[in-house]
Amino acid sequence: MNASVDFDRRLLDADVTGSRAHARMLARQGVISAEDAAAIDRGLVEVRDALAAGELAWDPALEDVHMNVEARLIEKIGDAGRRLHTGRSRNDQVATDLRLWAKQAAQTLVAQLGELRAALVKKARAHVDTLMPGYTHLQRAQPVRAAHHFLAYQEMFERDQGRVLDAIARADVSPLGSGALAGTTFPLDRAGVAEELGFAGVTRNSLDAVGDRDFAIELVAACALVQVHLSRLAEELVLWCSQEAGFARLSDRYSSGSSLMPQKKNPDLAELVRGKTGRVVGAWVTLVTVVKGLPLAYNKDLQETQEPLYDALETATASVEVTAGMIDDLTLDVARLARAVGEGHLVATELADYLVSKGVAFRDAHDVAGHLVRTAIDRGVELAALSLDDLRAADARFDADVYGWLDPLAAVDRRDLPGAPARPRVVAELTRLEAELGLGAASDVSAKK
């Protein structure tokens, strides 16, 4: 139960990097000799490489990555290796290692989120002129551009990137030099080591530094929201690829067949991404539950914060990567989407807006439009199939120009406000995002993929 080496071996590179910087600083400060520091530096690299390559076996009796490295270092270089731990504790050592690992893993997640945003922008560019039903309550509501729909998810993942970067900023301080809880008597150059390790600064309270896992909780919270957004997108992909909707297809790379029913093509990768949400949200719950009852400073309970941190970041990163691939692979059935836009009275609001343009109060115009929808349903037709006499029977202010309002494309393009789905607004947003994401100048052409 005490051993953590089965999972904290992930910290091998961070641990050796931190130890090398610590040893060089000790030599600069005159705490150990330059010769010992050089031997430590050389030995640490050799131990790291041997452990990573499997030439040295991990020993669970040594409990964790830190003791595995230090014990092998002492075996390799002798007494010089015993001087490495001068001025530090495993408490500030693991806190430093975790921050180094978390920063690197989080930057990888940020990069993958950028790839997913780019995939969504590219798919949106290909479908500037593809209309699809927009939904509320999973009921067809109003027509929108498919590009606008993809860009809605782009917004979510852009916010996710910001949250992860924000969490990285708070993880970007070095606890090394905090000791077990009260610092050390040795003249450590904390700022110099922090700079060498790529930290923006050092922690300001040794008690907090060794007991703090807020950076892990915050990163995992960001991962949980990433996974929630991925799950929402995955749910749409599952629905779109169903025979009931038939809006889209995924290739065999992201689907699988049934072991019994040869006609089946299941969107398994989307379902797995959706399913992993509970795992990442659970990691966040584990973290806050572990930390909520801990007195200052270090407690062994903090070992239990490592696995949720690793799992959440690794799961979210893999899920983002797979989702970017699915978006790139996705083929929309443009004709089926067009038929769906023409079914279900999606332009009913246009009738109300038309009457408002004639001076009718919106609530009255809404009632008239609702009456006409019921008439169309009773007759089994769409609104555009009602005659002008039918329309005027509901309100005499309807005129022949109303039919231009019932064209779905015109209905979308009348919504010409910032953030709305009119073509000029969508194209302008695509151009802005392509510049931001370094996608180059894309031609305004719908590839219809």
Q: Which residues are catalytic?
A: 137, 258
Token pair of 281 as six digits: 């949200």
Closest to 22 measured CA to CA, from 76, 92, 74: 92
Cβ neighbours of residue 72 under 8 Å, at least 6 residues apart? 47, 50, 51, 56
CA distances in angstroms from 200 to 99, 175, 213, 420, listed in the order given: 12, 12, 18, 40
Token pair of 382 as six digits: 């769409």
CB-facing half-sphere around the CA of 206: CA atoms within 13 A: 15
Cα radius of gyration rounded to whole Å, the chain: 30
CA distances in angstroms from 33 to 26, 46, 194, listed in the order given: 8, 20, 21
Q: How far apart are CA 195 and CA 208, in angstroms?
A: 20
For tokens 């922090």, name the residue.
194
